[in-house]
Amino acid sequence: MSNYPSENPQLPEDINISTSHPLKDFLVLLVGVGCIVGLLVLSISLLATYLSPLVPFSWEHQVLESWQQPAVDEPYQQEFERLLRVFKLVEKQSELETDMTLHIHHMDSEIPNAFATLGGHIFVTQGLLSQVQSDTGLAMVIAHEIAHVKHRHPIQALSRGVLIQLVMAVILGDNGMANSLISPSGTMLALKFNRDMEYQADETAVAIIKRSFETLDGADEFFRIALEEHGSSGWSDVFQTHPDMAARLVRIRQALK
């Protein structure tokens, strides 16, 4: 005689029902996915930091090798000559790798700004040249951008950004709500690496101008003016590519001493 029951046992009605609140389950899932995204962004950022410098600099140069400096308007010619003079002075003390070539460009914009791109191209606006009166202050800005090139920051930032976007697209897909809730955590972590690059460029820039000038008076001119005009971002710098200007200025002045 068989020992098995003749009828299947009746399963409890609440066997697949969670006893916790649905909102709690959603938050746990959200935090879990956010942690996974954060770990992936961290891994990608570290990978880009260590592997991007292995990309031959000549490859970067090929991207923008056809770029030509447009003719500088006559009213700005004197400022452009000053830019070239300070740039050449700073470049000599930058201790770049032998395959690194730099190119300085003048931009006809009234917004005070300077930035470095792939291939050693450095752009300085007319607004910055008009604002920064001392050669030491201008040299600090140029040295900062040269430092970005020296540490291969442009290729790092580009590769990190592309890889993070691809990972986000694979994980989150077209889910608008998931993107709006989870993407900011990955974005803020990536911005942390950008701010670290700015601090590193500042430190290298100070070392460069110490080799270039006997006196460092006025080296913090651009950063001091920026702080006076825009103030301190404080805690909100976690949403920005650049560090808080007040904290940054303190670091620069300490390094200058």
**Does the residue 44 lie in any domain?**
no
**Does the residue 193 lie in any domain?**
yes
**Does the residue 159 lie in any domain?**
no
Q: Which domain holds residue 120?
A: 79-150+175-256
**Does the residue 55 lie in any domain?**
no
**Contact (CB, 8 A) for 232 and 246:** yes
**Does the residue 69 lie in any domain?**
no
> How many structural domains compose the chain?
1
Q: How many beta carbons lie within 10 A of that of residue 47, not counting itself? A: 13
**Does the residue 27 lie in any domain?**
no
Which residues, 6+ apart, have CB-to-CB distance to 218 below 8 Å? 133, 134, 136, 137
How far apart (Å, rounded) are the C-alpha atoms in residues 182 and 27? Answer: 11
pLDDT tens digit sequence for 17-53: 556 666 766 666 666 666 776 777 777 777 777 787 7
**Does the residue 228 lie in any domain?**
yes
Strand partners, 93: none
Strand partners, 117: 121
**Does the residue 131 lie in any domain?**
yes
Considering the entire predicted model, what is its pTM?
Answer: 0.78
pLDDT tens digit sequence for 190-247: 677 788 999 999 999 999 999 999 888 899 999 999 999 888 776 666 667 788 899 9
